[in-house]
Amino acid sequence: MMMMPALYSAALMLLLLPGTLTGFIYHADTDPVPIHVEVQNSLLGEPPLTFSTHVAPRGILLGALKRLMASNSDFKFTYTEDPNYGPYLESVNGVAGNDKEHTYWELLVQTPDGKITRPDVGIGCYIPSANEKIILKFTKW
């Protein structure tokens, strides 16, 4: 019977040690992850605007966009918090999606090897990798 408390203590220690079960240990001094943000307006044919910023290691895109907006007056965005699906991009640089006109901001990701994908999550859940180009594309559905 004395073995049960010892097993319980060992299991509890595994849960309390950061990174024990996941293999990931967060260090506050870890280098930030550099990314690029490109704003495209496919409806007006304007040249894209490209910005450089960074995200915390394993940080979400929303944090990087907020950091970019705070550090660069040429980039502004708004988002709406949906109670079921989380934050979604509403406007970029004063241009907002419109249901009547069937316009919206599409989130795309270009990896360093040039492959472009549409993530299956939004700005509140997407975790960028180093040197990715995050494409915010104003388009129609």
Confidence tier at 23 by pLDDT (50, 70, 90): very low
Secondary structure (DSSP) of 11-48: HHHHHHSTTTTTS----TTSPPEEEEEEEEETTTTPPP
pLDDT mean across residues, the chain: 86
pTM for the model: 0.78
Lowest mean pLDDT among 27-41, 54-68, 72-86, 97-111: 27-41
- Compare 31 and 45 and report the one with higher pLDDT: 31
Residue 46 has a pLDDT of 86
Confidence tier at 90 by pLDDT (50, 70, 90): very high
CATH architecture of 36-140: Beta Complex (2.170)
Structural domain spans, the chain: 36-140
